[in-house]
Structure 1
């Protein structure tokens, strides 16, 4: 099959396009014909190399896959050939306590599809049936592929960690990012008032369309000072911080008394 892969870490120049060995279908696996696979910042980190993280080499990236079922192992009963599916990227196979308590990512055995395993930048990929999810024809494969990793991250931050409640105020960094886009929409759905940051004026209209109430251009204004001004000096109840150490201190200063900062 054809795939995009790399055999060593480095810049974009290490990427290759060509023939790659077919995935092996285990007894509980589903073979998926890839129709769309989203790009994710995690793919850049993998290509460059993450300290302490071992990945199979040569490696196919791609954590966000949408496609159709081509085949499956003899132990699979839930799917039929031709069915439209996506892959849940966060994966924990064993029955660890973390899995039973829906805290999969806390387990030392937790893996991300396309990181510790081969991913979706290929004509075909394989996933354990537990992590294969049927989808309808309501959206395109491209739209479905845009959902998994970023949306699950946003959900975990807003719902299971921050426990955002209706009427609360939430600052979401980087409206133009995948996590930012998903988080803005989810926060509005949860009934929160949403503040967000963008680096370019061209992103303002998009942020408003997604549901942001207040938008700060962080390259021209101090976002912490603006948040304080926009909230009458109170600060926000929750900060969704998925950028890194550059915004950490100012993010904390944006919090109201008793506020929560959540990172991913």
Structure 2
């Protein structure tokens, strides 16, 4: 089978298509024929050698949807032929609040979804919502789960709250926007691209703010303050968010791409009872709840483009440039 693997970082393109044997399911496992797979920045970081414990020769990919083609011993026969989404969590552990020390994600160090077939444990399967095609379903797992935990577990988002999603060009941020919107919250977004802001408004955002403009915070104050901010960048803009919060507001961050704040406005935080909360991907129960939420509200992921598996390298290059709006999906 064709698979996209990480090879020597000393060569000009460390991602290489190679032929691997179709995996064989052992006890408790299934083989899924991958119909579509989506890219994440995690894959690009592996490509650039910026991810810990890279195992050369590993097939990349955490996001995938397909059809169960083979069952190992002990797996219920009802799964054979099912259209499924794959939960990329591995070894979350028994504590629902935090992942175990053994936690890892499909696609490194174990072979992932950027292949014609992928081997996973049967308990990683969730039936694909019927309103989603394979390309839409493949866009969901990693980004959707990360956003779901941030918005609901930590953010406690409910109807009519004022919610601000920062950096809405990112995949997780877009899912956070969609989940908050379908909950009935009033949602605003930030971006350095007016086009992306305009698109979010078309999709139901109350408004948006271009963080490249000096007076964007003054415009944001007109929203009346925020109950919840979802952020991936960190850095000194955390203090900007603190100033924009309503009393007892929550700032949930799932990344720190701009680093740590040079200072933190603790006085305003304690006086206004502000919570600053870190978040990661979610646990297995949250994955099922996330897919159920998508099914109930008929949420459709935002997709930038779908291209053939053979065009995977061009998709990686586009992700690196940051020009896309929505998930980059490969059709197998």
Partner of 1:258: 248
Matched-pair contact (CA < 8 Å) for 2:3–2:115:
yes
Aligned ranges 1:1-264 → 2 under 5 Å:
1-9=1-9, 13-50=13-50, 53-77=52-76, 79-92=78-91, 96-98=93-95, 102-103=96-97, 105-231=98-224, 235-245=225-235, 247-264=237-254
Moved more, 154-163 or 205-214: 205-214
Paired residue total: 254
Counterpart Cα distance in 2 of 1:262 and 1:72:
40
Matched-pair contact (CA < 8 Å) for 1:216–1:223:
yes
* Alignment CA distance shift 1:138-1:165 (3 Å): closer
**Could you list the per-position Cα deviations for residues 48-81 of structure 1 after superposition, in whole angstroms to 9, with x for gaps in the alignment?**
2346x32432121111100111101112115443
Matched-pair contact (CA < 8 Å) for 2:37–2:63:
yes
* Alignment CA distance shift 1:55-1:25 (3 Å): farther
Counterpart Cα distance in 1 of 2:173 and 2:11:
25
SS across alignment from 1:225: helix
Counterpart Cα distance in 1 of 2:148 and 2:205:
17
SS across alignment from 2:180: helix
CA RMSD of aligned residues (A): 2.2
Moved more, 149-158 or 235-244: 235-244
Matched-pair contact (CA < 8 Å) for 1:184–1:210:
no
Counterpart Cα distance in 2 of 1:38 and 1:237:
32
* Alignment CA distance shift 1:250-1:20 (3 Å): farther
Counterpart Cα distance in 2 of 1:186 and 1:253:
24
Segments of structure 2 that go 5 or more residues without pairing to the other structure are: 255-332
Shift of 1:10: 7.1
SS across alignment from 1:125: strand
Shift of 1:21: 4.0
SS across alignment from 2:35: strand
SS across alignment from 1:44: helix
SS across alignment from 2:13: helix
Segments of structure 1 that go 5 or more residues without pairing to the other structure are: none
Matched-pair contact (CA < 8 Å) for 1:30–1:132:
no
Matched-pair contact (CA < 8 Å) for 2:189–2:197:
no
